[in-house]
Amino acid sequence: MHRWRTIIALVAALATAPAAAQLVPGIPGVNLPGMGLPTEPLLRTLEETTEPLVRTATRLLEERTDRLTRLIRSNRDIIEVDIQGEPARRGELLVLDPSPADLALIRTTGLGVAESEQLGALGITVVRLTLPKGMSLAEGQRLLAERVPGAQVSADNLHFQSGSAVGSVAAQAASGGATIATPVGMIDGAPSTAVAVTATRGFAKGAPRASNHGSAVASLLRQSGVRDIRVADVYGTDKAGGNALAIARALSWLIGDGAKVVSISLVGPRNSVLEKAIAAARQRGVMVVAAVGNDGPAAPPAYPASYAGVVAVTGVDGRKRALIEAGRALHLDYAAPAADMRAANAKGQWIKVRGTSFATPFVAARVAAALQTGSAPLAKLNREAEDLGPRGPDDTYGRGLVCGGCARR
C-alpha cells in the first residue's frame, strides 16, 4: 500500500513527459534517458499494475468535484467560487493588514468596506469587503489586483470536515492513558454535551451546535487523556460555515484563552488570511495539528495541513494500512489510527468512524503530552513513532505511526 501513491505519480509523470509520445498510434516507442528501457513496455506494465489504484484515485477526485458542485448549486445565495474555482462565501472578500493608502484605493473601486476586525491574540487585522450586486468574487479579485496591487486579498474560502461516522451504536468507550493537562484547542463543529470539555464558543450562525464530527473529534481527544479541551464551533447551522475568517477568529480566541495545541480536522484551499493566522499562532509557540483530508492522492494539497509549521496527519486502519482515501499535503509528519474504531456522535452514542479527521486528535494529544513533560514535541513524537512502509520518512506514513494503541475498537 505504501508504494501506490508514488506509482500513481510516476505513471502521471511518464504520461505527460515528452517521451510518452509513443502512446499515440503510429509513433514508435523511445528509450527513457539513462534507463535503457523501452518506454512503451514500461508504461504498459505500470498501467496494468496500478490500474485499480489509479481508478480509485480518479473516483475520489470525481466525488470531490461532484460534492462541491452540489454544495454550490444548492446554496447559490451564499456560496460561489473564487478566482481559483474554490468555494467561498458569496459577495465578500477579505483584505489582510491593509494600509490606510490601500483602504483609500479600495473605496474608489465601488466595493464596500463592511468591517475591520482586530484578531488581537494573533496581532493581525482583517477587513471584510462587500461586492456590488452582480459582481462575482473572481471579478472583484481581478479588480483589486489591478487597482490595489499592494493589498493581500482573498476570498473567504470554505473548509470541510474530513471524516465520517458509519455503522451501529456501541457501548461507550472508556477514557484511557495518562491525564494530559495541557490546554488543547479544537476547531470544528461543537461536541455533544456527553463529551466533557472546558469551554465551547461559536463562530458561525447558529453556533455552538452539537455535530457528529465535532463530537467524534472531541471524544477522541478526551479518550486520549486530554482533560482541558476548548472548542471553537465554526459551522453551527451556517451553510457557508468553516470559512477562513471564522477559523482565524476561532484561532485567535483559542490562543487568547490559553490553548497550547490546536487540532484542526478540516481541509480547504490555500488562503492568505488563514495562512497568516496560523503563522502568527506558530510564532506564539502554539502547535497546530491538521488532517490531510480524505479526497485521495490526486486531490489538491490540503490546507491548513500544508502550511509551514503545521503538523500534518494522515490515517491508518486497524491493520496499520494507509487509508486509500487519505489526501495529501505539501509535507507529511505522522500517521495515526483513523478507521476500525469508535467515537461519540452528537447524541453521545459511540459509533464507528473513519477518516484522517480522527487521526488528528491522537497526534494532538501526544503533542500536548510532550509539552506537559517539557519535551520538544516533535523530537518526542519522532522517538515514539513506529516506522511503517519504506525505512525512514515517506509520503504515505510520514515519520511513522503515533499512538497506534490509542483507538478503541
Q: Which pLDDT score, from 0 to 100, does residue 162 have?
A: 79
Q: Which pLDDT score, from 0 to 100, does residue 56 have?
A: 84
Q: Which active-site residues does the annotation give? A: 188, 213, 357
Q: Which residues of the chain have pLDDT under 50?
A: 1-4, 7-37
The pTM assigned to this predicted structure is 0.87
Residue 339 has which C-alpha cell?
478507521
Question: Distance between CA atoms of 50 and 5, rounded to whole angstroms?
Answer: 10
Q: Which pLDDT score, from 0 to 100, does residue 29 have?
A: 32
79-157 and 160-384 agree in CATH topology: no
CATH superfamily for 79-157 is: Peptidase S8 propeptide/proteinase inhibitor I9 (3.30.70.80)
Domain ranges of the chain: 4-74, 79-157, 160-384
Q: Is 298 helix (H, G, I), strand (E, B) or coil?
A: coil
Identify which of 244, 253, 266 has the alpha carbon closest to the alpha carbon of residue 93.
Answer: 244
CATH number of 160-384: 3.40.50.200
Q: Which pLDDT score, from 0 to 100, does residue 9 have?
A: 47
Q: Which pLDDT score, from 0 to 100, does residue 45 have?
A: 59
Put residue 200 in one of left, alpha, beta given phi > 0 → left and psi -120 to 50 → alpha.
beta
Rg, C-alpha atoms of the chain: 22
The CA–CA distances, whole Å, from 240 to 66, 91, 342 equal: 17, 12, 28
At 380-398, the pLDDT tens digits run: 999 999 999 999 999 999 9
Q: Which pLDDT score, from 0 to 100, does residue 44 have?
A: 60
The CA–CA distances, whole Å, from 328 to 87, 301, 314 equal: 19, 5, 8
Residue 131 has which C-alpha cell?
461586492
The CA–CA distances, whole Å, from 45 to 6, 48, 54, 99, 409 equal: 15, 5, 14, 58, 39
At 221-251, the pLDDT tens digits run: 999 999 999 999 999 999 999 999 999 999 9
